[in-house]
Protein backbone atom coordinates (compact mmCIF):
# COMPACT_ATOMS: atom_id res chain seq x y z
CA UNK A 1 0.00 0.00 0.00
CA UNK A 2 2.76 2.43 0.87
CA UNK A 3 4.12 1.99 -2.63
CA UNK A 4 0.82 3.06 -4.08
CA UNK A 5 0.99 6.14 -1.89
CA UNK A 6 4.54 6.83 -2.97
CA UNK A 7 3.57 6.57 -6.62
CA UNK A 8 0.66 8.93 -6.08
CA UNK A 9 2.87 11.42 -4.25
CA UNK A 10 5.45 11.29 -7.01
CA UNK A 11 2.76 11.86 -9.60
CA UNK A 12 1.37 14.82 -7.67
CA UNK A 13 4.82 16.34 -7.37
CA UNK A 14 5.46 15.98 -11.07
CA UNK A 15 2.22 17.64 -11.99
CA UNK A 16 2.39 20.57 -9.57
CA UNK A 17 5.99 21.65 -9.23
CA UNK A 18 5.29 25.18 -8.07
CA UNK A 19 3.21 24.25 -5.04
CA UNK A 20 4.81 25.58 -1.90
CA UNK A 21 3.39 25.77 1.60
CA UNK A 22 4.34 27.43 4.87
CA UNK A 23 6.43 25.04 6.94
CA UNK A 24 8.11 25.38 10.32
CA UNK A 25 10.85 22.90 11.19
CA UNK A 26 11.27 22.99 14.94
CA UNK A 27 13.67 21.81 17.61
CA UNK A 28 16.53 20.67 15.41
CA UNK A 29 20.27 21.25 15.45
CA UNK A 30 20.63 23.96 12.82
CA UNK A 31 23.54 24.07 10.38
CA UNK A 32 23.33 27.33 8.44
CA UNK A 33 25.93 26.16 5.94
CA UNK A 34 28.06 29.31 5.95
CA UNK A 35 30.79 27.81 8.07
CA UNK A 36 29.29 28.83 11.40
CA UNK A 37 28.89 26.29 14.19
CA UNK A 38 25.62 24.35 14.54
CA UNK A 39 23.07 25.66 17.05
CA UNK A 40 20.62 23.54 19.00
CA UNK A 41 16.91 24.04 19.34
CA UNK A 42 16.46 26.15 16.22
CA UNK A 43 13.42 26.81 14.06
CA UNK A 44 13.41 27.16 10.29
CA UNK A 45 10.42 28.84 8.68
CA UNK A 46 9.68 28.40 4.99
CA UNK A 47 7.10 30.24 2.94
CA UNK A 48 6.48 30.41 -0.80
CA UNK A 49 9.59 28.43 -1.56
CA UNK A 50 12.01 30.59 0.41
CA UNK A 51 13.52 30.72 3.86
CA UNK A 52 11.73 33.29 6.02
CA UNK A 53 13.94 32.85 9.05
CA UNK A 54 16.28 30.31 10.61
CA UNK A 55 17.60 30.37 14.15
CA UNK A 56 16.79 30.09 17.83
CA UNK A 57 13.63 31.86 19.01
CA UNK A 58 12.14 32.27 15.56
CA UNK A 59 8.35 32.68 15.76
CA UNK A 60 6.21 30.01 14.12
CA UNK A 61 3.66 31.60 11.78
CA UNK A 62 0.02 30.76 12.33
CA UNK A 63 -1.13 27.96 10.07
CA UNK A 64 2.34 26.67 9.35
CA UNK A 65 2.74 22.94 8.99
CA UNK A 66 5.19 21.89 11.66
CA UNK A 67 7.90 19.29 11.24
CA UNK A 68 9.38 18.18 14.55
CA UNK A 69 13.16 17.92 14.18
CA UNK A 70 13.92 17.29 17.86
CA UNK A 71 17.07 15.19 18.10
CA UNK A 72 17.73 15.72 14.42
CA UNK A 73 19.95 17.94 12.28
CA UNK A 74 18.60 20.60 9.92
CA UNK A 75 20.88 21.74 7.12
CA UNK A 76 20.83 23.30 3.69
CA UNK A 77 20.60 20.61 1.03
CA UNK A 78 23.90 19.36 -0.33
CA UNK A 79 25.11 21.49 -3.26
CA UNK A 80 27.09 19.00 -5.35
CA UNK A 81 30.05 20.95 -6.68
CA UNK A 82 30.74 19.21 -9.97
CA UNK A 83 28.62 16.45 -11.52
CA UNK A 84 27.09 14.90 -14.64
CA UNK A 85 23.73 14.42 -12.92
CA UNK A 86 20.86 13.54 -15.23
CA UNK A 87 23.13 12.98 -18.20
CA UNK A 88 23.08 9.20 -18.01
CA UNK A 89 20.89 6.38 -16.78
CA UNK A 90 23.33 3.53 -17.45
CA UNK A 91 26.79 4.83 -18.25
CA UNK A 92 27.81 1.96 -20.54
CA UNK A 93 24.53 1.99 -22.50
CA UNK A 94 25.20 4.61 -25.13
CA UNK A 95 21.61 5.54 -25.83
CA UNK A 96 21.15 6.64 -22.21
CA UNK A 97 24.43 8.54 -21.98
CA UNK A 98 24.34 12.22 -23.00
CA UNK A 99 27.48 13.40 -21.25
CA UNK A 100 29.44 14.38 -24.33
CA UNK A 101 28.16 16.17 -27.41
CA UNK A 102 31.59 16.28 -28.92
CA UNK A 103 30.70 14.63 -32.20
CA UNK A 104 28.04 17.24 -32.95
CA UNK A 105 30.52 19.50 -34.71
CA UNK A 106 29.99 22.15 -32.04
CA UNK A 107 32.03 22.88 -28.96
CA UNK A 108 31.46 25.90 -26.70
CA UNK A 109 27.94 26.31 -28.05
CA UNK A 110 26.74 23.01 -26.65
CA UNK A 111 24.11 23.68 -23.99
CA UNK A 112 23.69 20.67 -21.73
CA UNK A 113 20.40 21.84 -20.22
CA UNK A 114 17.99 19.92 -22.48
CA UNK A 115 19.96 16.69 -21.86
CA UNK A 116 19.44 16.91 -18.09
CA UNK A 117 16.61 14.46 -17.54
CA UNK A 118 14.97 14.60 -14.09
CA UNK A 119 13.16 11.33 -14.78
CA UNK A 120 16.47 9.45 -14.76
CA UNK A 121 16.93 7.41 -11.61
CA UNK A 122 20.01 9.23 -10.24
CA UNK A 123 17.72 12.15 -9.42
CA UNK A 124 15.54 10.15 -7.05
CA UNK A 125 18.41 8.18 -5.53
CA UNK A 126 20.54 11.23 -4.77
CA UNK A 127 17.57 13.33 -3.68
CA UNK A 128 16.79 10.75 -1.00
CA UNK A 129 20.44 11.13 0.13
CA UNK A 130 20.00 14.87 0.75
CA UNK A 131 21.47 16.33 -2.43
CA UNK A 132 19.27 19.21 -3.58
CA UNK A 133 21.37 21.16 -6.12
CA UNK A 134 24.12 20.18 -8.52
CA UNK A 135 26.54 21.76 -10.92
CA UNK A 136 26.04 19.75 -14.12
CA UNK A 137 28.76 19.90 -16.76
CA UNK A 138 29.09 18.37 -20.21
CA UNK A 139 32.07 16.16 -21.02
CA UNK A 140 34.46 17.42 -23.65
CA UNK A 141 34.52 15.80 -27.06
CA UNK A 142 37.26 16.62 -29.55
CA UNK A 143 37.80 20.13 -28.28
CA UNK A 144 39.10 21.84 -25.17
CA UNK A 145 35.71 23.55 -24.78
CA UNK A 146 33.00 21.11 -23.72
CA UNK A 147 30.07 23.50 -23.77
CA UNK A 148 27.77 25.19 -21.31
CA UNK A 149 26.73 23.59 -18.05
CA UNK A 150 23.80 24.25 -15.75
CA UNK A 151 22.78 24.43 -12.13
CA UNK A 152 20.12 21.77 -11.56
CA UNK A 153 17.79 21.13 -8.67
CA UNK A 154 16.87 17.61 -7.69
CA UNK A 155 13.17 18.30 -7.13
CA UNK A 156 10.72 15.60 -8.16
CA UNK A 157 9.22 17.67 -10.92
CA UNK A 158 9.65 18.02 -14.65
CA UNK A 159 11.85 21.11 -14.57
CA UNK A 160 15.34 20.31 -13.32
CA UNK A 161 17.28 23.25 -14.65
CA UNK A 162 17.49 26.05 -12.13
CA UNK A 163 19.99 28.02 -14.17
CA UNK A 164 20.86 27.07 -17.75
CA UNK A 165 24.12 28.17 -19.37
CA UNK A 166 25.51 28.92 -15.93
CA UNK A 167 29.09 28.30 -17.02
CA UNK A 168 31.37 27.14 -19.80
CA UNK A 169 33.49 24.04 -19.19
CA UNK A 170 36.97 23.44 -20.60
CA UNK A 171 39.63 20.74 -20.35
CA UNK A 172 43.28 21.59 -19.72
CA UNK A 173 46.12 19.31 -18.65
CA UNK A 174 46.38 15.81 -20.12
CA UNK A 175 42.78 15.65 -21.33
CA UNK A 176 42.93 19.12 -22.81
CA UNK A 177 46.16 18.32 -24.61
CA UNK A 178 44.65 15.16 -26.07
CA UNK A 179 41.75 17.23 -27.42
CA UNK A 180 44.02 19.93 -28.84
CA UNK A 181 46.33 17.90 -31.00
CA UNK A 182 48.44 16.03 -28.47
CA UNK A 183 50.35 18.75 -26.66
CA UNK A 184 49.68 21.27 -23.93
CA UNK A 185 51.14 23.77 -26.39
CA UNK A 186 48.14 23.06 -28.58
CA UNK A 187 45.78 23.63 -25.64
CA UNK A 188 47.07 27.12 -25.02
CA UNK A 189 47.15 27.95 -28.71
CA UNK A 190 43.60 26.71 -29.19
CA UNK A 191 42.45 28.67 -26.17
CA UNK A 192 43.93 31.93 -27.42
CA UNK A 193 42.98 31.41 -31.05
CA UNK A 194 39.39 30.48 -30.27
CA UNK A 195 38.92 33.52 -28.07
CA UNK A 196 40.39 35.68 -30.81
CA UNK A 197 37.95 34.22 -33.30
CA UNK A 198 35.14 35.00 -30.89
CA UNK A 199 36.32 38.60 -30.74
CA UNK A 200 36.47 38.70 -34.52
CA UNK A 201 32.93 37.42 -34.60
CA UNK A 202 31.87 40.22 -32.28
CA UNK A 203 33.63 42.75 -34.48
CA UNK A 204 31.51 41.73 -37.44
CA UNK A 205 30.90 38.74 -39.61
CA UNK A 206 33.27 39.96 -42.31
CA UNK A 207 36.21 39.58 -39.98
CA UNK A 208 35.13 36.21 -38.64
CA UNK A 209 37.75 33.56 -39.20
CA UNK A 210 35.79 30.37 -38.58
CA UNK A 211 38.61 27.86 -38.67
CA UNK A 212 38.01 26.75 -35.12
CA UNK A 213 34.58 28.05 -34.22
CA UNK A 214 31.11 28.00 -35.63
CA UNK A 215 29.13 31.18 -35.09
CA UNK A 216 27.18 29.54 -32.25
CA UNK A 217 30.44 28.60 -30.51
CA UNK A 218 31.72 32.15 -30.93
CA UNK A 219 28.63 33.57 -29.24
CA UNK A 220 29.09 31.26 -26.27
CA UNK A 221 32.77 32.17 -25.91
CA UNK A 222 32.05 35.88 -26.14
CA UNK A 223 29.94 35.53 -23.04
CA UNK A 224 32.95 33.95 -21.31
CA UNK A 225 35.30 36.62 -22.56
CA UNK A 226 33.05 39.38 -21.27
CA UNK A 227 32.90 37.80 -17.82
CA UNK A 228 29.17 37.15 -18.09
CA UNK A 229 29.60 33.41 -17.93
CA UNK A 230 32.04 31.63 -15.63
CA UNK A 231 34.70 29.41 -17.14
CA UNK A 232 35.21 26.17 -15.25
CA UNK A 233 38.51 24.58 -16.22
CA UNK A 234 39.56 21.03 -15.40
CA UNK A 235 43.21 21.16 -14.41
CA UNK A 236 45.20 18.86 -12.11
CA UNK A 237 48.96 19.47 -12.26
CA UNK A 238 50.96 22.25 -10.62
CA UNK A 239 52.57 23.47 -13.83
CA UNK A 240 49.28 23.48 -15.70
CA UNK A 241 47.76 25.56 -12.91
CA UNK A 242 50.57 28.10 -13.03
CA UNK A 243 50.40 28.40 -16.81
CA UNK A 244 46.65 28.88 -16.59
CA UNK A 245 47.16 31.69 -14.09
CA UNK A 246 49.41 33.35 -16.69
CA UNK A 247 46.68 32.94 -19.25
CA UNK A 248 44.28 34.55 -16.82
CA UNK A 249 46.54 37.62 -16.64
CA UNK A 250 46.22 37.94 -20.42
CA UNK A 251 42.44 37.60 -20.25
CA UNK A 252 41.60 39.48 -17.04
CA UNK A 253 37.88 39.68 -17.75
CA UNK A 254 37.40 35.91 -17.72
CA UNK A 255 35.98 34.55 -14.45
CA UNK A 256 37.90 31.34 -14.00
CA UNK A 257 37.10 28.48 -11.62
CA UNK A 258 39.45 25.50 -11.48
CA UNK A 259 38.07 21.97 -11.16
CA UNK A 260 39.90 18.85 -9.94
CA UNK A 261 43.14 20.61 -8.92
CA UNK A 262 44.85 17.57 -7.37
CA UNK A 263 48.21 19.35 -7.12
CA UNK A 264 46.71 22.66 -6.00
CA UNK A 265 48.55 22.49 -2.67
CA UNK A 266 51.88 22.85 -4.49
CA UNK A 267 50.86 26.26 -5.85
CA UNK A 268 48.34 27.28 -3.21
CA UNK A 269 49.81 30.76 -2.56
CA UNK A 270 49.63 31.60 -6.27
CA UNK A 271 46.06 30.33 -6.47
CA UNK A 272 45.12 32.40 -3.45
CA UNK A 273 46.82 35.49 -4.81
CA UNK A 274 45.08 35.15 -8.16
CA UNK A 275 41.76 34.77 -6.38
CA UNK A 276 40.76 31.78 -8.46
CA UNK A 277 38.26 29.58 -6.62
CA UNK A 278 38.55 25.80 -6.79
CA UNK A 279 36.11 22.89 -6.94
CA UNK A 280 38.45 20.11 -5.89
CA UNK A 281 38.25 16.32 -5.73
CA UNK A 282 38.36 15.60 -2.01
CA UNK A 283 40.15 12.29 -1.67
CA UNK A 284 42.39 11.93 -4.73
CA UNK A 285 45.56 10.65 -3.12
CA UNK A 286 47.10 8.45 -5.80
CA UNK A 287 49.37 9.44 -8.71
CA UNK A 288 46.72 8.21 -11.14
CA UNK A 289 48.39 10.25 -13.88
CA UNK A 290 51.66 12.11 -14.12
CA UNK A 291 49.81 15.37 -13.54
CA UNK A 292 48.73 14.00 -10.14
CA UNK A 293 52.14 12.94 -8.81
CA UNK A 294 51.64 15.12 -5.76
CA UNK A 295 48.17 13.78 -4.92
CA UNK A 296 47.31 13.92 -1.23
CA UNK A 297 44.13 14.00 0.83
CA UNK A 298 45.57 17.07 2.54
CA UNK A 299 45.20 19.05 -0.68
CA UNK A 300 41.94 20.79 0.15
CA UNK A 301 43.00 21.56 3.72
CA UNK A 302 46.26 23.09 2.58
CA UNK A 303 44.62 25.19 -0.13
CA UNK A 304 42.06 26.39 2.38
CA UNK A 305 44.82 27.28 4.85
CA UNK A 306 46.55 29.29 2.11
CA UNK A 307 43.42 31.32 1.55
CA UNK A 308 42.01 29.60 -1.52
CA UNK A 309 38.23 29.38 -1.74
CA UNK A 310 37.62 25.63 -2.03
CA UNK A 311 34.50 23.55 -2.55
CA UNK A 312 34.19 19.78 -2.97
CA UNK A 313 33.35 18.35 -6.39
CA UNK A 314 33.64 14.91 -7.97
CA UNK A 315 34.80 15.31 -11.54
CA UNK A 316 35.07 11.95 -13.36
CA UNK A 317 34.43 10.14 -10.08
CA UNK A 318 31.05 8.41 -10.57
CA UNK A 319 29.81 11.92 -11.14
CA UNK A 320 26.50 10.97 -12.78
CA UNK A 321 25.27 8.51 -10.15
CA UNK A 322 26.96 8.83 -6.78
CA UNK A 323 26.46 12.45 -5.72
CA UNK A 324 25.51 10.87 -2.40
CA UNK A 325 29.24 10.33 -1.74
CA UNK A 326 29.59 14.09 -1.20
CA UNK A 327 28.82 13.97 2.52
CA UNK A 328 31.16 11.00 3.01
CA UNK A 329 33.96 12.86 1.26
CA UNK A 330 33.42 15.90 3.47
CA UNK A 331 33.47 13.66 6.55
CA UNK A 332 36.79 12.18 5.48
CA UNK A 333 38.33 15.64 5.35
CA UNK A 334 37.19 16.15 8.94
CA UNK A 335 38.85 12.88 9.95
CA UNK A 336 42.19 14.20 8.68
CA UNK A 337 42.18 16.79 11.43
CA UNK A 338 42.95 14.00 13.91
CA UNK A 339 45.98 12.75 11.95
CA UNK A 340 49.41 14.17 12.73
CA UNK A 341 50.81 16.28 9.85
CA UNK A 342 47.62 16.05 7.80
CA UNK A 343 45.47 19.00 6.81
CA UNK A 344 41.74 18.63 6.65
CA UNK A 345 38.75 20.79 7.36
CA UNK A 346 36.87 21.49 10.55
CA UNK A 347 33.36 20.08 10.59
CA UNK A 348 31.88 23.52 9.96
CA UNK A 349 34.25 24.20 7.08
CA UNK A 350 33.58 20.77 5.61
CA UNK A 351 29.84 21.30 5.55
CA UNK A 352 30.29 24.75 4.02
CA UNK A 353 32.43 23.11 1.31
CA UNK A 354 29.36 21.14 0.19
CA UNK A 355 26.77 23.90 0.62
CA UNK A 356 27.49 27.64 0.65
CA UNK A 357 31.00 27.59 -0.82
CA UNK A 358 30.15 25.83 -4.10
CA UNK A 359 27.04 28.01 -4.42
CA UNK A 360 29.18 31.13 -3.94
CA UNK A 361 31.80 29.92 -6.39
CA UNK A 362 29.10 29.35 -9.01
CA UNK A 363 27.72 32.84 -8.43
CA UNK A 364 24.42 31.65 -6.96
CA UNK A 365 25.27 32.02 -3.28
CA UNK A 366 22.73 34.79 -2.96
CA UNK A 367 20.02 32.23 -3.64
CA UNK A 368 21.37 28.79 -2.67
CA UNK A 369 23.67 26.99 -0.27
CA UNK A 370 22.72 28.34 3.15
CA UNK A 371 19.71 28.67 5.41
CA UNK A 372 19.29 32.40 5.56
CA UNK A 373 16.30 34.64 5.11
CA UNK A 374 15.37 35.13 1.48
CA UNK A 375 17.22 32.14 0.10
CA UNK A 376 15.63 29.20 -1.67
CA UNK A 377 14.21 26.72 0.80
CA UNK A 378 16.43 23.72 0.07
CA UNK A 379 16.36 22.10 3.50
CA UNK A 380 17.23 18.63 4.71
CA UNK A 381 16.36 17.09 8.08
CA UNK A 382 18.77 14.28 8.98
CA UNK A 383 18.44 11.57 11.62
CA UNK A 384 22.03 12.28 12.76
CA UNK A 385 25.26 14.04 11.87
CA UNK A 386 24.88 14.50 8.09
CA UNK A 387 28.55 13.72 7.40
CA UNK A 388 28.41 10.45 9.32
CA UNK A 389 27.99 7.16 7.43
CA UNK A 390 25.05 6.02 9.54
CA UNK A 391 22.91 9.11 8.91
CA UNK A 392 20.17 9.64 6.37
CA UNK A 393 17.61 12.34 5.53
CA UNK A 394 14.14 12.03 7.00
CA UNK A 395 12.80 15.09 5.18
CA UNK A 396 14.04 16.77 2.00
CA UNK A 397 12.60 20.10 0.89
CA UNK A 398 13.50 21.74 -2.41
CA UNK A 399 12.26 25.22 -3.29
CA UNK A 400 9.89 24.92 -0.35
CA UNK A 401 8.33 21.67 -1.56
CA UNK A 402 8.64 18.53 0.54
CA UNK A 403 9.99 15.80 -1.68
CA UNK A 404 9.11 12.13 -2.04
CA UNK A 405 12.05 10.04 -0.80
CA UNK A 406 11.23 6.83 -2.63
CA UNK A 407 13.22 5.44 -5.52
CA UNK A 408 13.47 2.34 -7.67
CA UNK A 409 16.20 0.82 -5.51
CA UNK A 410 13.83 0.85 -2.55
CA UNK A 411 11.17 -0.94 -4.59
CA UNK A 412 13.65 -3.72 -5.39
CA UNK A 413 14.70 -3.80 -1.74
CA UNK A 414 11.13 -4.25 -0.57
CA UNK A 415 10.40 -6.94 -3.15
CA UNK A 416 13.40 -8.99 -2.07
CA UNK A 417 13.48 -8.24 1.66
CA UNK A 418 12.60 -11.93 1.88
CA UNK A 419 14.24 -13.46 -1.17
CA UNK A 420 12.17 -16.66 -1.37
CA UNK A 421 9.06 -16.63 -3.53
CA UNK A 422 5.63 -16.84 -1.96
CA UNK A 423 2.27 -17.84 -3.43
CA UNK A 424 3.06 -16.04 -6.66
CA UNK A 425 6.31 -15.19 -8.45
CA UNK A 426 8.24 -12.12 -7.33
CA UNK A 427 7.01 -10.34 -10.45
CA UNK A 428 3.58 -10.06 -8.79
CA UNK A 429 4.96 -8.55 -5.60
CA UNK A 430 4.68 -4.78 -5.73
Partner 1 sequence: MKMTFTRKAIAACLLPLSMAACTSAEKPQTVSSVKPVEKAPAPFPSTYKAYPGVATAIRNVTIYDGEGGKIDNGVVFMSGGKISSVGGPETAIPADIAVFDGAGKYVTPGIIDIHSHLGDYPTPSVEAHSDGNEATSPTTPEVWAEHSVWPQDPGFSRALTNGGVTSLQILPGSANLMGGRSVVLKNVYSRTIQGMKFPGAPYGMKMACGENPKRVYGTKGRMPSTRMGNLAVNRQTWIKAQEYRKKRDSGKEYTRDLGMETLAGVLDGEISIQNHCYRADEMALVLDMAKEFGYKVAAFHHAVESYKIADLLRDNGVCSAVWADWWGFKMEAYDAIPENAAILQNTGACVIIHSDDENQIQRLNQEAAKAQADGRRMGIQISDAEVIKWLTYNPAKALGIADKTGSLKPGKMADVVLWNGNPLSVYSRPEMVWIDGALMYDAKDPKRRPVSDFELGQPGEGDVK
- The contact set with partner 1 (CB under 8 A) reads 88-93, 121-122, 125, 238, 263, 266, 283, 285-290, 292-298, 318, 320-322, 324, 328, 331-332, 334-336, 338-342, 387-392, 409-410, 412-414, 416-417, 419-420, 426
Nearest alpha-carbon partner for 360 in 205, 255, 268:
255
Are 397 and 380 spatial neighbours (Cβ–Cβ below 8 Å)?
A: yes
**Which residues have C-beta within 8 Å of that of residue 181, sequence separation ≥ 6?**
190
Q: For strands 401-402 and 393-398, give the pairing.
A: antiparallel
C-beta of 85 vs 225, nearer to partner 1 = 85
C-beta of 133 vs 324, nearer to partner 1 = 324
d(CA 214, CA 222): 12
76-109 burial string, b = 16+ CB within 10 Å, else e? Answer: bbbbbbbbbbbbbbeeeeeeebbbbbbeeebbbb
| Exposed/middle/buried for residue 151 (C-beta within 10 Å: 0-12, 13-18, 19+) | buried
Supply the minimum distance, in Å, between the C-beta of residue 412 and partner 1. 5
Strand segments, DSSP code E, in 278-382 are: 278-281, 310-313, 379-382
Supply the minimum distance, in Å, between the C-beta of residue 236 and partner 1. 12
Supply the minimum distance, in Å, between the C-beta of residue 24 and partner 1. 26
C-beta of 36 vs 328, nearer to partner 1 = 328
C-beta of 385 vs 399, nearer to partner 1 = 385
C-beta of 94 vs 249, nearer to partner 1 = 94
C-beta of 91 vs 305, nearer to partner 1 = 91
Supply the minimum distance, in Å, between the C-beta of residue 202 and partner 1. 40
C-beta of 22 vs 391, nearer to partner 1 = 391
d(CA 66, CA 44): 10
**Which residues have C-beta within 8 Å of that of residue 40, sequence separation ≥ 6?**
29, 30, 56
Nearest alpha-carbon partner for 375 in 18, 33, 21:
33
Q: For strands 50-55 and 65-68, give the pairing.
A: unpaired
Supply the minimum distance, in Å, between the C-beta of residue 332 and partner 1. 6
Supply the minimum distance, in Å, between the C-beta of residue 408 and partner 1. 9
Sheet of strand 161-171: strand arrangement? 78-83, 131-136, 145-153, 161-171, 230-235, 256-260, 278-281, 310-313
Supply the minimum distance, in Å, between the C-beta of residue 125 and partner 1. 8
Q: What are the start-end ranges of the H helices in 251-398?
A: 268-274, 299-305, 325-336, 347-352, 356-361
Of the chain, the end-to-end C-alpha distance in Å amounts to 9
C-beta of 225 vs 261, nearer to partner 1 = 261
Supply the minimum distance, in Å, between the C-beta of residue 383 and partner 1. 9
Supply the minimum distance, in Å, between the C-beta of residue 317 and partner 1. 8
C-beta of 223 vs 355, nearer to partner 1 = 355
Are 284 and 325 spatial neighbours (Cβ–Cβ below 8 Å)?
A: no
- Phi first, then psi: give them for residue 411, nearest 5 degrees: -65, -40
Supply the minimum distance, in Å, between the C-beta of residue 331 and partner 1. 3
C-beta of 168 vs 262, nearer to partner 1 = 262
Amino acid sequence: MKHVLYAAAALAAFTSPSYAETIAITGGKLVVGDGSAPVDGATVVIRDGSIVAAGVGVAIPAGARQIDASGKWVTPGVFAGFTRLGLSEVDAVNGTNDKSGGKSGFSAAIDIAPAIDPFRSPFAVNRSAGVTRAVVAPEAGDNIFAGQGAIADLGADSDAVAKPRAFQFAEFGEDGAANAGGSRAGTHLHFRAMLREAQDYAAGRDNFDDDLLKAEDAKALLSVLRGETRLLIHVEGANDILRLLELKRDFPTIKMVFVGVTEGWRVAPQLAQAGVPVIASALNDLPATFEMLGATQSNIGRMKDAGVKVAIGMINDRDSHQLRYTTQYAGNLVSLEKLPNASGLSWDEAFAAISSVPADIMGVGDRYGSLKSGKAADVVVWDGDPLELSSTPTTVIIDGVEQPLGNRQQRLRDRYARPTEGDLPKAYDR
